[in-house]
Structure 1
């Protein structure tokens, strides 16, 4: 370790200790009876505008994903905005997969809808929690004034209030990004992952267990390797092995952050691809030669293998992957459940816990997952025909 790296690590560890001390000193994380009417008129206007913009961009996965990207381009110091954008793209692809050529052949219409509502609720919840934080930061920058005392009026965890205040003073981009990963995954824990409705309709079903078994839960970041836009985008990313584990989701977030920001060349290549391909929800966004937004197969056609090593077999139609707007209607969500998830300062350990660096190698795993799911579709059809 060089002297420079050693000093940088010491400064980071000091920051973590300062945040831990702040969180320990909080006696009443969320005071009851907070009302926007208590605030000066100018701050009431800020809160109202933040709510309006959040509702505007929280219509569906496509609008949310674009909002994250637009924010990052305006404020590249907020690393999580790009991470959120790329992960949200994957969320949209997972949603449309349910109506595409593959999963629609394995899951019933009811299972497809339940799975979609599960994914959509999580995507919606994260946005309505994190986007107001981003907008408040943006307003703070415009006014050159710390406005994070308004976070409780936006129902944001005291954990993030402490971290945002620290960021305003010290500007540690990594620390803020990791804190946001911790916050958003913790925020989902009771509201989605361990919510009785979603456990019954999704997480405890055979369909979800099959999805997990197939390792079809890869998070992929398409990018133009070395800026070569004339070639097929390469993939980099990682895999979530156990969705139900808060620890696994946080550690995956840290690994994905490292993939995005550890190498400037990789970041540049991902941004180049993302800037040229607005998110639609269709996997044709990144591989047009393998996926298509229009179904090229005739209705009732028996499914035959179409891929080999992520290349389309000669003469085979492309895999149908619809844009989100054609796959699913927008959802009117019930309000987010109130309450602050933060109740244990030991969560600070995630700031310093080392993640295993996978190097982002995902291409082979992703290709094998597609081939595996094709074989299961064919086997299922063969079994059905024998039963007839």
Structure 2
């Protein structure tokens, strides 16, 4: 049982305050969060979610900057783009402020050579994760630990973002068509090598079940194929996250706008390559696209209600084919054609 606030030792109070301060420091924006995940993973590669979280958070940043990029500035009203950004930013912020304190308390546990996870309740972290971390401390089962973190983060977001009445009305119901079938928002891309992509596509964003299964498939792609894993890690280390899609395809995207304001859009892509003489597609850095957002405190409450979620911890034997490049290229072509037709997406 966790100690009450009044029974915390002075040392425990210091540890908790240090964790809170460090988390706030790194939770400024998508770029600082994404970097913090990778830095932690390089220090503690046994915590595999840190790398999975890093790569998924990169995709979150790309989605944010798409809202100020070449296509969506022509296809979506400014108000709608702002709403969508705040939806993405809230989710990204919430996950970090829940997950990163877990990482820091793990580091403190290593320092003190004993598990300190009983302090989770003072950081509003689920009792589910307290059990999981204590098990991990004993058995170092990286698969169960990572998938449990996937379950935790998606369940944590469910009421706070996905089922939040404001986001339901202003974002999810409004953008459902786009989320499912149109934009690259539903693609999770893992770049590696030279212009290679692996990943998965999510078709039912509103389904907690589907998001957890997606997390399991992404884990399989990132960690079960050792060759791909090392190449993605090498790519991530060599390409600091800026939020621009130029990070992975600099021959197609540029963080500087090469277009002329007011001129009609001209087709530039053919089979995921620039046509001869075509300008690159504008994909700004996060720093140039959006200002930092001051977030309201996270909603309290433990999502964990029944043990049936442990069924997700069963390991799937099948290898997941992460081929996504063709599908992603088709998405870019659809966006181009819509932009060319100036067919604004209306709601």
Same fold (TM over 0.5): yes
**Residues 1:41 and 2:10 aligned together:** yes
2:115 touches 2:137 (CA, 8 Å); kept in 1? Answer: yes
Q: Secondary structure of the residue that 1:221 maps to in structure 2?
A: strand
How far, CA to CA, are the matches of 2:165 and 2:319 in structure 1? 34
Residue number among 137, 145, 149 corresponding to 1:168 in the alignment: 137
More displaced stretch, 369-378 vs 246-255: 369-378
Give the corresponding residue for 2:204: 242
Residue number among 61, 72, 93 corresponding to 1:92 in the alignment: 61
Residue number among 190, 208, 217 corresponding to 1:255 in the alignment: 217
Give the corresponding residue for 1:362: 324
1:254 touches 1:355 (CA, 8 Å); kept in 2? Answer: no
Residue number among 119, 129, 141 corresponding to 2:98 in the alignment: 129
**1:81 offset after TM fit, Å?**
0.1
Larger Rg: 1
Residue number among 84, 87, 92 corresponding to 1:118 in the alignment: 87
Residue number among 34, 46, 69 corresponding to 1:77 in the alignment: 46
Residue number among 284, 289, 308 corresponding to 1:327 in the alignment: 289
Gaps of 5+ in 2: none
Alignment map for 1:264-343 (pairs within 5 Å): 264-343=226-305
1:130-169 residue CA offsets vs partner (Å, 9 max, x unmatched): 0000000011112211101111111000000000000001
Give the corresponding residue for 1:214: 182
Query: Which structure has more RCO (C-alpha within 8 Å, separation ≥ 6)?
Result: 2
**1:301 offset after TM fit, Å?**
1.4
How far, CA to CA, are the matches of 2:343 and 2:112 in structure 1? 62
Q: Secondary structure of the residue that 1:204 maps to in structure 2?
A: helix
**1:356 offset after TM fit, Å?**
6.4
Residue number among 171, 175, 186 corresponding to 1:202 in the alignment: 171
How far, CA to CA, are the matches of 2:318 and 2:76 in structure 1? 34
Question: TM (normalized to structure 2)?
Answer: 0.96
Aligned CA-pair RMSD = 1.8
Question: TM (normalized to structure 1)?
Answer: 0.86
More displaced stretch, 212-221 vs 282-291: 212-221
1:298-340 residue CA offsets vs partner (Å, 9 max, x unmatched): 1011111111121111111100000001100111100000000
Q: Structure 1: which 4+ aligned runs deviate by more than 2 Å?
A: 34-38, 353-358, 379-383
Distance 1:107 1:215, change over 3 A: closer
How far, CA to CA, are the matches of 1:121 and 1:281 in structure 2? 16
2:74 touches 2:344 (CA, 8 Å); kept in 1? Answer: no
